[in-house]
Structure 1
Amino acid sequence: MSDGILPEFTVSSERLSSDSYLLRVTGELDLYTAPQLENEFVCMLRDGAAYVLVDLREVPFLDSSGLGVLLAAANRLGKDGLVLTGLGIESRRVLEITGADRLLTLVDVSPSGAPA
């Protein structure tokens, strides 16, 4: 991203077990892209998801629409059912300012991807 070009928004999910998923999000999570993430959560919940780990390492921007989708998913899954990882400084700041950091489970990871 050093050339100033933002990555295209993508959401990909991987089923880890019968009720656990890894969700990788890339690109800006905003008013225009939040519905795609919401749709992915709807599909996972319909398929029996109880635990979702959301990797946000490739999300440079998060607005209130994206935050709303994450909070709605946490409400459906329960606080311990949704875990966010890889939050950038700006995204973490949004969660802190809104108080959502107290409502969501956040896990820091090292550059290797292991919990820090």
Structure 2
Amino acid sequence: MDKNRRYWLLTILILVVWFINGFYCKILNQVPRHQEIVSRVLSDEYAREITFTIGVLEVFMVVWILSNYKSKFNAISQIIIIITMNIIEFILAKEILLFGSLNLIFATLFCGIINYQEFILKEKCYA
């Protein structure tokens, strides 16, 4: 598979992950575990509202990725957000996470995909 096609397939994968987690899981509240995690980490009183807001921000991340505006800063932001969120969740809500302790490994792999897509493939495709 050529680099350009690989770049776009990984971009679509990244978009889908953010969109499903934001829209389906959090805005539509189809995966209650997300709200449980927010309740555990932040506040039980406003867990639904905070979860909804996080979902909206994740959908905005999709728009930002699609816009290609400051894409390097976007990729770095994604990586920081994912790692920070997963460390906090690991410490405060490990037993609620889909893959428990393994969530950190999957988060790291996803960050690796973001890094590879933006800083390696994109550089080769658009150099």
Same fold (TM over 0.5): no
- Compute the TM-score of the two structures, normalised by the length of structure 1: 0.30
Q: Which has the higher helix share?
A: 2
Structure ranking higher on relative contact order (CA contacts 8 Å, 6+ apart): 2
Decide which structure has the larger Cα Rg and report it.
2
